Structure 1
Amino acid sequence: MVILQKPVLSLLENDTPKDCVIKEAREETGYNISNPVKIFEAYMSPGSVTEIMHFFVAEYSNDMKVDEGGGLEEEQEEIEVIEMPFKKAWEMVRTGELKDAKTIMLLQHLKLENIMA
């Protein structure tokens, strides 16, 4: 299974990228991940933005779910968490239903590395 969420811009807020992804995963998805693996960095629009995105993957299980996620109310985050089989997420890329570049890049990585079937 993979978790998709509506894209949100999140700055590192003085955390390391790994610490930030652990914190954001809990706030946004409700899962308390412990061992994210950095897979690459990328400029999303190098001609106009200098922000580097750090991409991580992490395993999770139902026992790691600590709350419903959805983001922080004080940050006015309204994040819809969607959990679905990898095959369905990949089909959404193929049909054009899923258009978020960050999510597509992560799904492509999972497929290329044979991490998900």
Structure 2
Amino acid sequence: MQNPNIKILQTDILSDNWYTLNKVTFSILKKDGTKETQSREAYDRGNGAVILLYSKSTHTVILTRQFRLPTYINGNSTGMLIEACAGLLDNDNPEDCIKRETEEETGYKISKAEKIFEAYMSPGSVTEILHFFIAEYSSEMKINDGGGLEEEGENIEVLELPFNKTLSMIDSGEIKDAKTIMLLQHLKIKGIL
């Protein structure tokens, strides 16, 4: 159900290259009863899913490392980012998407993923909502080396790390990716590892 106090007046496409950047002009009814017209830019890249693979027997997690241009532009001297496996839905349901991405990026074939929550990651400028999953893994589930799809320009390093080390990597700044931090903290808070 749409909010009756907000009316979209105009949407202009500013860029439709990789994803879509829109300038949206809207009116909003303020608390004092007056209407105000505002314009904001919203980046629409579609919705996504993210997963953290964990092993209770080895007390480890599977993460990835890859180059992320926006972090490089913003001061990450190597541009490399350690993060949980993730991808865009591409018209799939979230669970099918994350199973596909897990196999492509990490080389692990999972049959079941537990959805734990959904979250907007940058609601001031990006429309994307992320579906968060966790799944237990074992060495028997490894069917290939992972690394992503060459045709998508992916060059992903798969990391198997001790869970406690990943928590200290948050403190040291080695892990700065929000979705990854949220998933690692979820495992800690829930006492899963």
Code of the aligned partner of 2:144: D
Please give the alpha-carbon distance, in whole angstroms, between the structure 1 residues aligned to 2:161 and 2:88: 27
Provide the aligned C-alpha RMSD in A.
1.3
Shift of 1:10: 2.6
Q: Could you tell me whether the CA contact under 8 Å between 2:148 and 2:155 is conserved in 1?
A: yes
Task: Give the Cα separation in 2 of the matches to 1:39 and 1:10.
Answer: 17
The one-letter amino acid paired with 2:164 is K
Matched, 1:102 2:179: yes
Q: Identity of counterpart residues, as a percentage?
A: 64
The AA in structure 2 aligned to 1:102 is: K
- Alignment counterpart, residue 80 of structure 1, candidates 126, 143, 157: 157
Choose between structure 1 and 2 for higher RCO, CA contacts under 8 A separated by at least 6 residues: 1
Q: Which structure shows the bigger proportion of residues in strand conformation?
A: 2
What TM-score do you get using the length of structure 1 for normalisation? Answer: 0.94
Where in structure 2 are the equivalents of 1:21-100 lying within 5 Å? Answer: 21-100=98-177
2:86, 2:101 within 8 Å by CA — same for their partners in 1?
no
Cα deviations by residue, 1:38-80 (Å, 9 ceiling, x for unpaired): 0111111111111001110001100000000000111111111
SS at match of 2:91: coil
- Structure with higher helix content: 1
- What SS is found at the alignment partner of 1:81? strand
Aligned: 1:4 with 2:63: yes
Count, aligned residues = 116
Task: Give the Cα–Cα distance (whole angstroms) in 2 for the partners of residues 99 and 42 of structure 1.
Answer: 17
Q: 1:12 to 1:78 in 2, by over 3 A?
A: same
Secondary structure at the aligned position of 1:111 is classed as helix
Q: Distance in 1 between matches of 2:87 and 2:113?
A: 17
Residues 70-109 of structure 1: CA distance to partner in whole angstroms, max 9, x if unpaired? Answer: 0011111111111111011111012222111111000000
TM-score where L is the length of structure 2: 0.58
SS at match of 1:58: strand
Structure 1, unaligned stretches of length 5 or more? none
Larger radius of gyration: 2
- Partners of 2:162 and 2:86 lie apart in 1 by 25
